Amino acid sequence: MRHIAVIGSGPAGYYTAEACQKQFGDEVRVDIIDRLPVPFGLIRTGVAPDHQSIKGVSRRYEATALTDNVRFVGNVTIGEQVTIPELLGLYDAVVLATGAPRDRPLEIPGADLPGVTGSAAFVGWYNGHPDYAELNPPLGGPGAVVIGNGNVALDVARILAKTQGEFAGSDIVGHALSALETSSISTITLLGRRGPHQINMTPKELGELGELERAAPVVDAADFPPEIDDAMLEPGHRKSITHLRNFAAAHVEKPVHIIFDFFAMPVAIEGDGKVERVIVERTVLDSRGAAVGTGETYAVPASLVVSCIGYRTPPIEGVPYDDRAGRFANDEGRVLPGLYAVGWARRGPTGTIGTNRPDGFAIVEKIAADTQPNSGKQGRPALDALLAARGAEVVTFRDWQKIEAAEIAAARDGAPREKFTSIEAMLGARGT
């Protein structure tokens, strides 16, 4: 028998648990610890609410969760109810699958003005993350600026642009749906510090912008390199660029504009007590493809700025940390003896949800090589005793199923669920 603790119940955590089952069969016990009373991390609070098919992967994690040798230990915070050194004393391996839930800071003057928010907070707000339920972003318009040219920037722009009808079938939380209903935002400017070929947007997600009810993408054909250069791109990326070229050619007129402003680097945010404009510097690409400012600046009016420039893993005291990369310092997942990192906590915030599956399997191979069965570590019973002694209110997977049933029962017509947005409400729903 091996005892393994996984910290974090998102994709990386559940794929690691699944890999443990495949590797060790019945000779393993896996405890998945999460600070929230609800599982699935990024699937629940990161993936866009109008992308339900992507969220469907949680059914696979549920199958793993419902086996006897995997447990969900929710509502337990590392550093509060239990520490990493304590877990290392109880388990043969401890795997950090904590993701990258903090925003990379936007380090320009004015970034702390009210009305400027990071994507972790903004996405968390419309997805019902308890940390961000009170964000109340200013949607008075008419301008919003979204910084970054990745898929998160696309998600944010699309959510800001959709009509109420277009949220049918989504699980966007009620507070965000109501706020967006009265939004006056009519111009959403996506700032990309480099050019069309340097976007990090996938074709399916980019294509959706061309099919919105009241919003149309606006792209300047002059920003593109010669079309022949597209042939050198990897096929998926080429498809994305083709979408952009089609947007540039289409000239569709709709009331809401999603403007792709390329070669546009935000250098300051200004306003009297709140954001009013973003100062942008025109860029060119240098020989290595990096953005270099030209000195030419202009202002983009905005009452809301959402910075979608990537994420960081929060450090944990005593765990080696790579501050430059914003993740745990590790050698292919090995952090310290007995301590491992997987997923975004290991490699940074890149790749798709599926990328975490091979990651989970690779880390379990290392655990198999580094550990012996029946080491004498006590695992579950010892953790339970420790948490009980500290008065922790542990949420089990069965409890989560009751919370989920209550969320499903509270759903708007046609919606899959209405999420609880506070920890108290989640805990309260266990009794329903």
- Asked if 11 interacts with ligand NAP (CB under 6 A), we say no
Which residues inside 305-324 make contact with ligand NAP, applying CB under 6 A?
308-311
Q: Is 359 in the site for ligand NAP (CB under 6 A)?
A: no
Site for ligand NAP in 286-305 (CB under 6 A): 291
How many Å apart are CA 28 and CA 17, to the nearest integer?
10
Minimum CB separation of residue 111 from ligand NAP in Å reads 10
Stretch that binds ligand NAP, among 57-65, 316-324, 350-358, 369-377 (CB under 6 A): 350-358
Q: In the complex with ligand NAP, which residue's Cβ is closer, 32 or 199?
A: 199
What single string gives the DSSP state of each residue in 231-274? Answer: GGS-HHHHHHHHHHHHHHHH----SEEEEEE-SEEEEEEE-SSS
Helix (H) or strand (E) holding 281, with range, is strand 277-285
Q: What is the sign, positive or negative, of the torsion defined by CA atoms of 7, 88, 86, 335?
A: negative
Cβ proximity of 331 and 320 under 8 Å: no
Residue 147 engages ligand NAP in binding (rule: CB under 6 A): yes
Q: Which H/E stretch holds residue 426?
A: helix 423-428
The minimum distance between CB 9 and ligand NAP, in angstroms, equals 18
Residue 242 near ligand NAP by CB under 6 A: no
- CB of residue 97 to ligand NAP, shortest distance in Å: 16
Of 205, 261, 404, 407, the one binding ligand NAP (CB under 6 A) is 205
And the tokens for 18? Answer: 């699944």
Does position 326 interact with ligand NAP (CB under 6 A)? The reply is no
Site for ligand NAP contains 151 (CB under 6 A): yes
Radius of gyration of the chain measured on its C-alpha atoms: 23
Q: Is residue 150 a contact residue for ligand NAP (CB under 6 A)?
A: yes
- What is the total count of residues that contact ligand NAP (CB under 6 A)? 25
Among 350, 375, 422, 432, binds ligand NAP (CB under 6 A): 350
Instruction: Give the tokens for residue 410.
Output: 């509270």
Cα–Cα distance measured from residue 232 to residue 100, given in angstroms and rounded to the nearest whole number: 32
Among 21, 23, 83, 200, binds ligand NAP (CB under 6 A): 200
**Burial of residue 242, with CB atoms counted within 10 A of its CB: 0-12 exposed, 13-18 middle, 19 or more buried:** middle
- Select from 2, 71, 193, 312 the one that contacts ligand NAP (CB under 6 A): 193
What's the first-to-final CA gap in the chain, in angstroms?
Answer: 36
Which of 352, 375, 422, 432 binds ligand NAP (CB under 6 A)? It is 352
CB–CB of 254/186 below 8 Å? no
Binding to ligand NAP by residue 155, rule CB under 6 A? Answer: yes
CA–CA separation, 166 and 182 (whole Å): 15
Beta carbon nearer to ligand NAP, 235 or 391: 235
Q: Please report whether residue 10 would count as binding ligand NAP according to CB under 6 A.
A: no
Residue from 202, 246, 371, 396 binding ligand NAP (CB under 6 A): 202
CB atoms within 10 A of CB 142: 12
- List residues binding ligand NAP (CB under 6 A): 147-153, 155, 192-194, 198, 200, 202, 205, 265, 291, 308-311, 349-352
